[in-house]
Structure 1
Amino acid sequence: MEGRSPLRFRRPARPRDGGMTARNEALRRHRRARRLTQAQTAEQVCAQVLAATGRDPELDANWISRLERGAITWPSADYRAALCAVFQVASEEQLGLHPRGSSDPATPPSQAPPDPVGWAMTDTALSARLARHAAETNVNALVLEQFDVDVARLAQDFVSRPLPLLAPEIRTVRAEVSRLLEGRQHPSQARHLYVLAGWLCGLAAHVSLDLGDRPAAATHARTVVQCAEIAEHAELRAWARSFQSLAAYWAGDYRRAVELAQAGQTEGRGPGRGTIKARLLSLEARARAAGGDSRTALRALAQAHEARTAAEPDELSGVFSFPEAKQWAYTGTTLLTVGGTEQIQRSITASNLAVELYHAGPEGDRSPGDLHAAHLDLATAYLANGEVEGASVKLSAVLDAKTHTASITIRLRNLAALLGSEPYRDAQPAVDLRAHIREVTRRPALASTPTEP
């Protein structure tokens, strides 16, 4: 058209080396397979070179782009080694790299000239990467030490501190340990965290059982077993079985309670050297007595007291230990269940000893819930002897408490039912005591202090 200059056609630009260059599709495929941008790839190559040589080349996305366009086909040995390390390949040929002038970038490795320097750099980079990966951790010794202190304190406080104040803190610490386990740790640190998580889930299981939520308690207990298996921790595994045996006993499944108590003694490397064996044998004795196997129950009871004489200090105190006072409380319950004049008298002696030991010990080790259980056994033993007024005296410590766990409430109601049967039904002291129990058990059961039911 008039007034316009004729069209000019430009020739395609030639590469600076004077020949057409082929794109490096192999390198591009490797990068895309790992979902890396060119900038990210360059950053990782720089990190590999820095780890292997101590030199930071400061490469950028443009350098990777030139490799993929074919403008660079054979970078220096340390860069080739770094690229192989980033993409985890054995040779440069797999990344489409070749000396300039080579007519076939895909020359088989056997036809390519050997490059011992490049191989050495690749091996060095891979080892350096492994070392950095192995060193990565989101915890340290101080963090684990603080968690140890927190768990030990919570286990001790659980015995006597009001549960509504303690439960939120247990949940918070447990969430922190769970979050750390989602990260990376050294194997020994991971085992340590799993042990901590197991003890914390054990506390959560006790909270649920004291509040009467057995399904939740069972879930927590299974998690304790899993943590113990991963950490290969004998004491934690045995304690988990003791808790499951306890829950089965209060669900009325006495055979299962016996099986779990025995499993705690035989699984893995055994129950450990603390008081856990005495606990497991005491649980077995109580469950056998409830199931009607009196002879085996008395034998297991004797073995439990023998085990205490050989027991070493527990790893954790508080709710995870088995103090002598609690063992005598279990003994009282077992003997009372076996029944008979002789065993009932022995039961009264054992329960009174449990009460005395609890009162003689430090206040922080005194479990109001366990004291309630011992007083209930004493009251039941006095009723078995026909002493309603004596039962009322022993029961006053329980009835005067402001709150009870779910299990103590159930035991009080069972005792009220016993008072409503012959020969107590029409006796005025029994009528009065039954009315008092019903008045107390109308209140919602809230575990302000923990107990074993």
Structure 2
Amino acid sequence: MTEPNRLLRAARERLPSPGAPGEQAGRAEVAEAVNAWLWETTGKRHALDAHYLAKLERGVARWPNAAYRAGLRHVLGAVDDAALGFTPPRRALAEPRTSPASLGSQWDSRDMIERAIVLTDHDLLTAARGSPLAGPRLGSALATELQPFLWPVAVDAHRDGSAFSTPELDAAERFVQVLRSWHSAHGALSRQAVAAQLGAHVRRLRAAPQGTPETVRGFRVGAEIADIAATMAWDVGESGAAQRYFVLAAQLAHAAGDDALAAVALASLARQCFDLGRPGDGLEVIQLAQYCTRRTASPRLRAVLATREAWAYALQGEARAFRRAVALAEDYHSEGVRDLDSRTPSARSLDSAELAGVIGARYRDLARHDVRYAVTAQDYIGRALDLRHPSRARNRIFDLVGLARAHLVSREPERAAELIAEALPSAGAWVSGRVGVRLRDFHREAAVFATVPAVRDARDAVLMLTAA
């Protein structure tokens, strides 16, 4: 008796329908999306239809051609064929190109590079942006994609090709530093430009001899650029693209042997889960990062990961576990005061101001379960504002809006309105992204105080800015 392909069907049913809000994607819609993606990326027309997809789900067909497998992996958000239940025939298993990655046990550097090229090429096609079939993966789908983080990357150690030169790598690392500082200060970078740079870089990785020190260093540079692209996508609310870039950053960093940088990407994935209302999924991701860096993480990185763990507990209202995680974060941070050599982005930026701001925001989340924690949230965020360097403009806006929301929890609407008025003049450059999301959160949460004149004016100003 034919065994149904439950993994493929479940992957399809997790996707929203582009034509029927609130419904799951139909087979015809998935087939159409696969054909469209294959046309955009290969310039060739394909004819996948709902009938053949039904045969795949029933298990009548088990191994579609390479193009259909690639398209289904992309549209359904799968890390490899095994995640969609595709089983190669015995002759395919005997081919030398088959690697452990195809069986879901580890990432393969060659496949990783090819996926990176497809991702960046697709991101440069503006018309493909925002597809409802390209949203973030959560729950078991995300866990399956991240499982290979537990194993070393399979490397094809061929020695032909053109290697990176040391001056090229030095220049690329300086470029990454400029991108990070510019985005943090101005928020006006073009993600298409960053995606193009990443695409060019991973093509060099494909041509470079694998397993050499220069190529390993090149993988790390690629991870940093992917992390920047992911942050930019997340800042403008493109959560699906952000997740794919964060996963790519984790993969490239893992290939470089830098699990600290990979853990930072996982921490960002956890943050996405929290913002999307899935604290349980986020906790699983962050615990994976903690486990895989348990012997190697610097104190500053341990502090970053502990704050993410605390975030999950705050959203779940688990006060005792939250306080324990916060205490660990503060202890780790105090141990890492001189940990300025940390090369991982989030760990490097977790100064005293950032730590206070993050903890304060999490106390505000906990205060939604117990209002007594609102005052503690205000104390921490106020400390962050006092410590912030003037160049951290976006962080300061987050602090002001977060503090305003904490004052709403403690029923101090006039003070909340004052803080929003202070934040708005500088918020315009980032209002299309997460800053805008947080301002709209304030607008929604302040509705109960809409009769207070100062709050009414603040809500009107927020609405005018975010609707522009």
Whether TM-score is above 0.5 comes out as yes
Identity in percent: 18
The answer (yes or no) to whether the contact 2:313–2:319 under 8 Å persists in 1 is yes
For 1:176, which of 200, 204, 219 is the aligned residue? Answer: 200
For structure 2, list consecutive stretches of 5 or more residues without a partner in the other structure: 1-157
User: Paired residue for 2:408?
Assistant: 383
Cα distance in 1, alignment partners of residues 246 and 187 from structure 2: 22
Cα distance in 2, alignment partners of residues 238 and 411 from structure 1: 26
User: Paired residue for 1:417?
Assistant: 444
What's the offset of the Cα at 1:317?
5.2
> Cα deviations across residues 105-149 of structure 1 (Å, max 9, x unaligned)?
xxxxxxxxxxxxxxxxxxxxxxxxxxxx85864322222222122
What's the offset of the Cα at 1:282?
0.8
The answer (yes or no) to whether the contact 1:264–1:271 under 8 Å persists in 2 is no
The answer (yes or no) to whether the contact 1:159–1:318 under 8 Å persists in 2 is no
The yes-or-no answer on 1:372 pairing with 2:402 is no
The yes-or-no answer on 1:349 pairing with 2:349 is no
Change (3 A) 1:430 1:144: closer
The yes-or-no answer on 1:298 pairing with 2:288 is no
Change (3 A) 1:233 1:389: same
Change (3 A) 1:308 1:300: same
Matches within 5 A, 1:52-451: 134=159, 137-164=162-189, 167-185=191-209, 187-267=212-292, 270=295, 272-273=297-298, 275-311=300-336, 312-313=339-340, 314-316=342-344, 321-339=349-367, 340=370, 342-358=372-388, 361=389, 363=390, 366-401=391-426, 402-403=428-429, 404-421=431-448, 424-443=449-468
TM-score between both structures, scaled by the size of structure 2: 0.60
What's the offset of the Cα at 1:409?
1.8
Cα distance in 2, alignment partners of residues 278 and 350 from structure 1: 16
In the alignment of these two chains, the number of paired residues is: 303
Change (3 A) 1:319 1:177: farther
For structure 1, list consecutive stretches of 5 or more residues without a partner in the other structure: 1-132, 444-453
Q: Which amino acid aligns with 1:330?
A: V
Structure with more relative contact order (C-alpha pairs < 8 Å, separation 6 or more):
1
Cα distance in 2, alignment partners of residues 282 and 381 from structure 1: 18
Change (3 A) 1:319 1:310: closer
Cα distance in 2, alignment partners of residues 372 and 256 from structure 1: 28
Quick check: 194-203 or 383-392, which moved more? Answer: 383-392
Cα distance in 2, alignment partners of residues 286 and 318 from structure 1: 16
> Cα deviations across residues 406-428 of structure 1 (Å, max 9, x unaligned)?
2222222222222222xx24333
Cα distance in 2, alignment partners of residues 399 and 136 from structure 1: 52
Cα distance in 2, alignment partners of residues 139 and 286 from structure 1: 40
Whichever of the two has the greater Rg, that structure is: 1
Quick check: 207-216 or 335-344, which moved more? Answer: 335-344
TM-score between both structures, scaled by the size of structure 1: 0.62
What's the offset of the Cα at 1:322?
2.1
What's the offset of the Cα at 1:316?
4.9
Change (3 A) 1:190 1:301: same
CA RMSD, aligned part only?
2.3
Tell me which stretches of 4 or more aligned residues in structure 1 moved more than 4 Å.
Answer: 133-136, 268-271, 316-320
The answer (yes or no) to whether the contact 1:373–1:408 under 8 Å persists in 2 is yes
Q: Which amino acid aligns with 2:380?
A: A
